[in-house]
Structure 1
Amino acid sequence: KDNPLTARVMVNRVWQWHFGEGIVRTPSDFGLRSEAPSYPDLLDWLARRFMAEGWSIKQLHRLIMNSAVYQQSATNDPAYGKIDPNNALLYKWNLRRLDFESMRDTLLVLGDNLDPAQGGRPVRQVETPRRTVYGYVDRTALPDMYQVFDFANPDMSTAERVETIVPQQALFLMNSQSVLQQARRLAARSEVAQAERVEGKVQALYQLVFQRAPTPKELQSAAAFVKNQPPLPAYRRTQYQRQTQAARERAKAYTKRYNRPAPAAIFNNIPIPMSPIDKLAQVLMETNEFLYVQ
């Protein structure tokens, strides 16, 4: 309590986590050369409240998330936009893309495949259903998928991640075996599979992915997309099952011989058969509405 800088720095980091930018936009520099806080009184008040509540981070999260400013929508207001074009005063919610960990976990949730177990040893396989936070990070061999989605450099302390928009991110969502598998699992969920008509399947997918019903125009467009796709030949499913079984046997033999997990490349070369409704599920998982926090 004798050094209020500690509380201010911590409060600013938590605020940055929720809003994308801190009240002080240089989270590692509160010195004379740093940028002035956008809300100095708010920063001081949060720091005092944080200390008064026993330095409880949980209470701080609850305070921020129950506030009106956190619960705003991202709808633009032209009048306020002229006064505050950078939204420094938070007259609306800043659109934020899901970070890599949140995106991967959400894909697993949609596929009804996320392992909710807490604790335990880290896992090496990227394809595991464990939460991404339990992924093993090898500083000398960081998986390409981590680097494509702006994962923090494990060799240094990182106050905030640099966000990029590069073609490799879209290509990953289009071609990754793990994404295709989750799209198939999403389309196979009971809410979708039990719908008899295409329109019912579309509505179920929208509810699962976006937690809302599709607009009439979206419903018509998505249903037309599904109906215009060529049906999946039955032999493709049988072929995929045979290839997957052969890959499992090769992976088992590899593990037995080398006493370590088999490389994912054993499975990555197997083309995944996608039905029309599987393709629509994948399309919805690549939209901005899914990838960005509204």
Structure 2
Amino acid sequence: MKVLKKLFGGINLTWPKLIIFAVAIGVYTGLINQVPFLYDTSLRDSAIYFDRWVLFGILIIMNSKSNIDSALKCFVFFLISQPLIYLVEVPFLGWSVMQYYRNWILWTILTLPMGFIGYYMKKDRPWGLIILVPMLLLVGGHYSLYFGQMLFSFPFHLYSTIFCAGTLVLYSLCIFSDKRVKLAALIISGLMIVGGTVYNFVKPPVYITDILSSGGETAATTFDDSYKVYWDSDSHGDLSIRYEEATEDYLVHAELTHSGQAAFTLEAPDGSKLNYDIMIERNTYEVKKK
């Protein structure tokens, strides 16, 4: 616990250290985002979502010497790290990737007031918790998101799920010393964790899509609602045949509940069968006829 307390206020965060940290994080994130087999995993989440950046911002705030120091250091950290991520990606993706940095420009500017106001969390007063609550809500939302993704693609996003739950508790324990403020923060964090967990069990993530069209190249046949479609072994969700009026076409409709390799069969009324393999990911799929 002493080590964590030092992390949240005991570091001599000089400007050279801050700049080196910003450069290292920017380069790492840009490079990790280019590794194909890390797609849709926890290691790549930092390139897409905010939870790790919230931690970096809070650590900078807690180790700053004044509200001005906090605001400037937060601003400079994001001013260096965020464009650097995209600059590192330029050799792989071309200069067009820089267009995505526009989403971060406003957030970078907002780190000035956020760093200035966030510094008052260090005063160990109830208003410090009020300042922290939006960050707890943001991280709690990420926890729920990751938990759902983990259920769909286990064990992918397991680390991100644990990270968010851990930091929710960590912020409550390490930012405040006053027992009442700390307890209130822990209760809010606990509610976020329990709420996100229950929500995903009550309403688990489902990938809804159409995976086959009648007469399509992949289907290699025409079919209608007299056909049957079913999984060959383990179910990955619900399969059905529906008619799309807009295209006047029959489609194999899928409500997929988890990722992985699977196989399904399209059976004609006369008993003849066509077999297909499908690779399911969180937001994509690939079907191949056997």
Same fold? TM cut 0.5: no
TM norm structure 1: 0.27
> Which structure's CA Rg is the greater one?
2
Which protein has the bigger helix share? 2
TM norm structure 2: 0.27
Which protein has the bigger strand share? 2
Q: Which has the higher contact order (CA 8 A, sep 6+)?
A: 1
